[in-house]
Amino acid sequence: MLISFSSSALVKLFLTSSALAVIVASFHFLEARRFGAAYIRHRLEAQPPDPKDLYHKRLINTLEEMSIAAGLPYVKPYVIPSSAINSLALVKTNKPPAIIVSEGLLADFTRDELQAVLAHELAHLINGDSFTLTLVCSLANIFERLREMSEPERTSQLPLSQRLPQQAETRGGHPLLFLAFTLTSLIMALLSTLISREKELQADAQAVAICRSPRALARAIYKAHVKNSLIGDFNPTYSALFIVPPYSGQEGEGFFARLFRTHPPLIKRIHQLCAMVPMSIADLLAEIQTIADQREKARQEIHSPEEKDSSRDMPLLLSPPEEAAEKIW
């Protein structure tokens, strides 16, 4: 049996579908602006810093100093309970902007490196990058949230430290929701890539104008890249928000890897910063190793003899700085 439609019926169907699409898109946009940043912060399990914690107190004081230097009003600090090394800035409509750093970053970075990281995130806030990227990444939230609600057992209920990146890819859910989530993630990843890639270089340069230490920012970016920057099972769509990609240790070199890369190559960022000093990359790596050795020596001096023998960390560089510089790039 054939069903025929008149031209007027087709026009009505088109207008109705278009109106419905506009309504849904408008609701989605408003929902992303209003709740997107809060959802991302919730996924990261980020909490306000504890003033009684010495590392947290240093974050509070340093962010206040750098905010004044950048000429910004109050910026709210948050801490991610993760040993990974990473940071990001979020903007919520009609709320103070937020800068979020991980526990691993606070424990591993020197004061001038922390200042440089905060200056980088403040530069994103000043330029409006954080607002745009928060909104773009938040637009992908709705399908992820629908998929999570459709799953009886969600990985997101686990503590952040117990999640694995593979768990984010193997979870169940309705096939249509999974397809919508995948397509949306690809589109949003490409869009955030187009917005973010060159903005990172601009933020690096502007951060130096705020913190006055290109070598500290170069050390911070390098250390975040070569160490663990992965934050739980966080969706790669949100990679553009972070100072280094959460999957920086797994970056490929193929066409699609380069197409969806949200950050400039590490060598490009380091070269730009080293040229401002000026210094060579080998000198930068030697400086990183020297600081690591000094901190290890200071740490061992306050430990008991038993602790000294059982708490030796692996050195940051496994070969001389000149050889390491050649291998990394």
Model confidence over 195-204: pLDDT tens digits? 667 789 999 9
Report pLDDT for 284.
94
Burial class (CB in 10 A: 0-12, 13-18, 19+), 236: middle
Report pLDDT for 233.
61
Report pLDDT for 151.
57
Mean pLDDT of the chain: 76
Model confidence over 148-157: pLDDT tens digits? 665 555 544 4
Q: Which two tokens stand for residue 247?
A: 């999957």
- 326 pLDDT band (50/70/90 cuts)? low
Burial class (CB in 10 A: 0-12, 13-18, 19+), 14: exposed
Q: Which two tokens stand for residue 97?
A: 């902007």
Domain-wise residue ranges, the chain? 27-265, 280-304+316-329
Model confidence over 113-124: pLDDT tens digits? 999 999 999 999
User: CATH classification of 27-265, choosing from 3.40.50.300, 3.40.50.2300, 3.30.2010.10, 1.10.3720.10?
Assistant: 3.30.2010.10
* 8 Å CB contact between 259 and 186: no
- 193 pLDDT band (50/70/90 cuts)? low
Mean pLDDT of 305-314: 52
Label residues 66-91 b or e (16+ Cβ within 10 Å = b): bbebbebeebebbbbebebbbbbbbb
Helix (H, G, I), strand (E, B) or coil at 9: helix
Least confident of 52-61, 136-145, 166-175: 166-175
* 8 Å CB contact between 274 and 280: yes
